[in-house]
Structure 1
């Protein structure tokens, strides 16, 4: 019997795979790579330290647990030669596509030798699948070739570059061997400030929903999810965006008097758009005039003096003069 290492996007997927009786060891990747710094020039272990500190700073778990999770993950990956096969199980959305790039880039630097590399990547959300659906996905398993590794290496370097144009240039590359990568490239670019509003696509969507009426944070997140062609963002990341819109001066949205957004939210937390939010939404005001930008997208640190806008119409990034 083959000894298999199954690498996938998180614990929910692992749970369903175990229920489906998928053989092997399971390694959930557990990193929200579209949030926070992913700078170039760091080994897997050093990058894991950066990622762990970012997640700790967000308050997304206990520091010791987060640090140990990354260490255990990297140690398991380093043991890949103990397995006859490493099988990647991922989805079509931005969250998963970035994880695929990181893992395949690592294997491009650490040749699998006698260990077979395969991938299963479809439009099926793994954590929402039934055991029967998981079993059926085995029919989509494909071998990972050198061409997969080379494209991933190029794309991962572009993602970690301090020049966002490197990521944009991937739109001109042939990415068909990773069929969902092109969509992920565009979706990440849409998280740069919009050239008219200064808002990311996610923030702009949240305000557009509130323009139609007040709702709770939970309702807002659910309605936002419905707007995504490929759902990738968890509620923790979404909450960070909402808090930024609440904290800007002037605020673009407001909550019930004295209420703060908590995770999980309570039913008495109600959000509504402000007049300032309406002005930004229609392009009468740039949100970045109201906030001090301090945000990482991959290897790009957006901050005063390094502000990049995304022009959806021209599909181009433009640096602020």
Structure 2
């Protein structure tokens, strides 16, 4: 969901579909039950049942209430779950069941060796990999490039800038800065591994970190085998949001079915993307927004989404800021934690924020001469997710485009190497035929 090209209306939008968090463990008996329920609905000419049939059955027009068979309903269920057919879904479920059984018995398949290095931009799959039987070392590399400065400076100075940002922006202790420095140190010692596997997904948080790692591996070649797992969907997971939601046997399935060698073209593309992210040139940013590549197929959408954090031509808000204010407008006074959940499960087209990142955005958004939202005095001393927020008249005026955001903004934020403040002449974005244009 993106802001309209014209000034946004104050009329509330229809509530989007809620994304479910599911680990991918499909139950065959449950799917059989769902198929029988769908068949009964189609036979009763239920509009919802007919709509599902029309969406997923290539010969839906020829399937009537009288001619509908269980096989038709099973086919629809399989397609809804992301499979080509019911037999393929059954085979997938059985394979996962056997893998889960082996894990539960303490006899998992041994997919890798001790000289393998698994790199992920977070710790979310570390335990799952261990349960699934992976023996290699796990390295978390989780510098959140989607926020804070990405300056074109030597790496030691770059690391200093990043550690300073995360400690100040997220209010974390110095130990977190030390942890980040150690992550960079580990990435600088990858020549010790015979096999390196990068585990990533499709959102901007992952794709920006992936670009850095590919650029780093291009600049510092290693002898070990390089492979990549990078997905935007997983069969049996209708609302895939990230690798961290998957069960151990699904991680094993990805290892067997989604792992690919990292090519020279991918290393070069990672270098090009990272160089673009460090640029202040509008033309370079425009090229990033229009990027499309078979080598890194998820990069274009993620980069376009990242550039939508720049001020929009409509009102100077980045897209996360825009969506957050829309949530407060449409939902009325609400806890900040509920606003975050609504953003991640309903509004955000490509979810990428963590809770600390959202809180930083929220506080920075309200760093204005006139606040865009108020915090209930009764909850001001509560933990931030419990603080009650209510949009102000100023926030509504900016949402509708009656006012612009930056003239009253008192802070400073960064999108890549672009500093955004009231004093800066900044690039802005707009949508043109669904494409992000930088002006």
TM-score of the pair, normalised by structure 1: 0.92
Residues 1:273 and 2:391 aligned together: yes
**1:27-46 to 2 correspondence within 5 Å?**
27-43=139-155, 45-46=156-157
Partner of 1:311: 430
Q: State which of 322, 329, 334 in structure 2 corresponds to 1:211.
A: 329
List aligned pairs for 1:197-208, cutoff 5 A.
197-208=315-326
After TM superposition, the structure 1 stretch with the greater mean CA deviation from structure 2, 87-96 or 305-314, is 305-314
Once the two structures are superposed, residues 217-264 of structure 1 have per-residue CA deviations (whole angstroms, 9 ceiling, x without a partner) of 011000011212321011212112222333322111111126438655
- 2:166 corresponding residue in structure 1: 55
- For 2:208, the equivalent position in structure 1 comes to 98
Per the TM alignment, residue 2 of structure 1 is displaced from its structure 2 partner at its CA by: 6.1
Partner of residue 3, structure 1: 115
**Equivalences, count:** 313
Between structure 1 and structure 2, the one with the greater Rg is: 2
Distance 2:277 2:431 in 1: 19
Distance 1:221 1:98 in 2: 22
- Who is 1:221 aligned against? 340
Q: Distance in 1 between matches of 2:360 and 2:382?
A: 10
Cα distance in 1 between the residues matched to 2:349 and 2:249: 24
Which residue, out of 77, 88, 91, partners 2:198? Answer: 88
Name whichever of 235-244 and 162-171 sits farther off: 162-171
Unaligned runs of 5+ in 2: 1-112, 233-239
Q: Are 1:150 and 2:259 matched, yes or no?
A: no
Do 1:162 and 1:299's aligned partners in 2 also have CA atoms closer than 8 Å?
Answer: yes
For residues 194 and 383 of structure 2, the distance between their equivalents in structure 1, rounded to whole angstroms, comes to 42
Structure-1 residue corresponding to 2:374 = 254
**In the aligned structure 2, how far is the partner of 1:13 from the partner of 1:263?**
28
For 1:262 and 1:250, how far apart are their aligned partners in 2? 23
Q: Which residue of 2 aligns with 1:194?
A: 312
- Whether 1:128 and 2:245 are equivalent positions in the alignment is yes
